[in-house]
Amino acid sequence: MSATVTRRVQDTKKLYVAFELGEKEWKLAMSLSLEAPPRLRSLRARETTRLLEVLEKERQRLAAEQIVSCYEAGRDGFWLDRFLHSHGIDNRIVDSASIEVRRRARRVKTDRLDAQKLLTMLHREALGEKDVWSVVHVPSVTDEDARSLQREYRTLVKERSRSSNRIKGLLASQGLVAPRIDGRLPEWLASARLWDGSPVPSGMRARVEREFARWRFTHDQVLALEKERRDRTKDETNRSLEKVRALYALKGIGLGAAWTWGLEFFTWRNFRNGKQVGALSGLAPTPYQSGDSEHELGISRAGNRWVRGLAIEIAWGWLRHQPDSALTHWYNERFARGGPRARKVGIVALARKLLVALWRYVETGALPEGAVLKG
């Protein structure tokens, strides 16, 4: 590095800190400039008082005026970012997938090296280098809390499906098929007979009944969350649920999709254009070119996977429920007459266009061309 750049870093008098957050221990790498060797410290995880003491001591030792920090997005979420900002520390959360790594088949990786790597990239960003990494947009406490109900609902639905599949598997091992997994299962189980006319063995029957008890408990929670979701959509008035109601008013979009798109995607993110909407949903193309080789790798699959999965699902439903819309006509003209692969490629393109159109709809109130609302 040139002397001019070095003086530029030193003149700012900022202490740069990178966190490597573990479950039991945190690693800190700290330095004043890119040339200076980093100072490494280890702390017990989540000891915030001790963390502030270490940072302040290092700041005073180096006579720095400000602290700039970063850490990778992970299980610790956003609370640490809010804590650091509340104490005047300029922090940013880094998307782990955007951090550059060596492409060797085997590479050395430790928490210490990860912290040093983050610190180096933090210095490069401070020097003005663009596209060093992707920074995660932090939602407010209210917006983050608003996502809890829909996320819990998805988790419970999966748990209910697992219990249902276990029951079906246990019965299949005895040559039985339950007509339906519902409240009448215990009564049916008592009257069920095996191939030789004998009743279900007591051990197997008890196991199925215990699994059914778990299914029923989870099912009741799912129904309670569905009711709460309907009630909140109908009665509460806030910015987030206004967008949910706007999406739900469109034919072809259910309440679950409206909650996921409204609260996970459209409410607290400040999109500037349609390209950002497509990129964050992971539906953006990824061209590959090297020498004479040039081809398309498919969609990037970055961003929120729930939003992306729903976008594909709703795109198929859009063709059925919104047959007169401009997007449906566009798909039919270009892809409907093609083979299965052409239709699959086309539905991804339709999902991306639909997400952009819905973003404009919830922001401006302008319906997608030709779309109709529910009665």
Question: What distance in Å separates the CA atoms of residue 139 and residue 205, rounded to the nearest whole number?
Answer: 48
Eight-state DSSP code of residue 97 = G
Which residue ranges in the chain fall short of pLDDT 50? 1-10
Q: How many other CB atoms sit within 10 Å of the CB of residue 251?
A: 15
Question: What distance in Å separates the CA atoms of residue 52 and residue 341, rounded to the nearest whole number?
Answer: 56
pLDDT at 11: 58
What phi-psi label fits residue 337: left (phi over 0), alpha (psi between -120 and 50 degrees) or beta? alpha
* 226 close to 241: Cβ distance less than 8 angstroms: no
Please write down the long-range contacts of 65-69, taking CB distance under 8 Å and 24 or more positions apart. 65/12, 65/13, 65/14, 66/12, 66/13, 66/14, 66/15, 66/90, 67/14, 67/15, 67/17, 68/14, 68/15, 68/16, 68/17, 68/122, 68/126, 69/16, 69/17, 69/18, 69/19, 69/122
pTM (two decimals):
0.86
pLDDT at 7: 47
List of residues 6+ apart from 160 with CB closer than 8 A? 215, 218, 219, 222
The domain defined by 3-138 folds into Nucleotidyltransferase; domain 5 (3.30.420)
Q: What pLDDT, in 10s, does the model give residues 141-171? A: 999 999 999 999 999 999 999 999 999 999 9
pLDDT at 19: 97
- Amino acid type, 174: Q
Question: What distance in Å separates the CA atoms of residue 52 and residue 59, rounded to the nearest whole number?
Answer: 10
φ/ψ (deg, to 5) at 237: -125, 105
* 156 close to 226: Cβ distance less than 8 angstroms: no
Q: What pLDDT, in 10s, does the model give residues 179-193? A: 889 999 999 999 999
How do the domains of the chain map onto residue ranges? Answer: 3-138, 144-236, 241-364
